[in-house]
């Protein structure tokens, strides 16, 4: 993966999810997930590495292989943090073993 997030810090009680495109199955990112349950929002500071340059904080999260949109960048006002609101049907996740 081309992008390694320099700001990503190891979080307690987290596990690693591989997020992949639901259309073409390309792996998009390795992500530190906190808590069980579906991935609704992908916090940019929890992305470990990815095939997209997240330092540019693109507005739309697009699959670089098939160009389908997987998410939209939003800013959480209270936390002053950028996250990707994921499009439920557009991606798959699996736990890294
Ligand atoms: Zn794709």
> Can you read off the two tokens belonging to residue 75?
């800013």
Tell how far the Cα of 76 is from the centroid of ligand 1, in angstroms.
26
Tell how far the Cα of 8 is from the centroid of ligand 1, in angstroms.
24
- Look at residue 9 in the predicted model and tell me its pLDDT: 86
- d(Cα 56, Cα 49) in Å, to the nearest integer? 14
Q: What is the pLDDT of residues 6-29, one digit of tens each?
A: 988 888 899 999 999 999 999 999
Tell how far the Cα of 13 is from the centroid of ligand 1, in angstroms.
30
Tell how far the Cα of 25 is from the centroid of ligand 1, in angstroms.
6
* Cβ–Cβ < 8 Å for 76, 43: no
pTM, whole model, 2 decimals?
0.93
- d(Cα 3, Cα 71) in Å, to the nearest integer? 18
Residues of the chain with pLDDT under 70: none
- Look at residue 7 in the predicted model and tell me its pLDDT: 87
Per-residue b or e along 21-33, where b marks 16 or more CB atoms closer than 10 Å to that residue's CB: bbbeeeebbbbbb
Tell how far the Cα of 12 is from the centroid of ligand 1, in angstroms.
31
- Look at residue 19 in the predicted model and tell me its pLDDT: 98
């Amino acid at each position: 993966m081309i992008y390694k997030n320099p700001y990503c810090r190891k979080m307690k009680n987290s596990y690693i999810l591989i997020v992949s495109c639901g259309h073409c199955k390309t792996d998009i990112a390795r992500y530190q997930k906190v808590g069980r349950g579906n991935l609704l929002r992908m916090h940019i500071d929890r992305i470990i590495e990815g095939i997209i340059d997240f330092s540019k904080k693109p507005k739309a999260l697009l699959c670089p292989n098939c160009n389908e949109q997987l998410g939209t960048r939003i800013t959480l006002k209270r936390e002053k943090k950028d996250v990707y609101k994921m499009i439920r049907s557009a991606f798959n996740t699996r736990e890294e073993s």
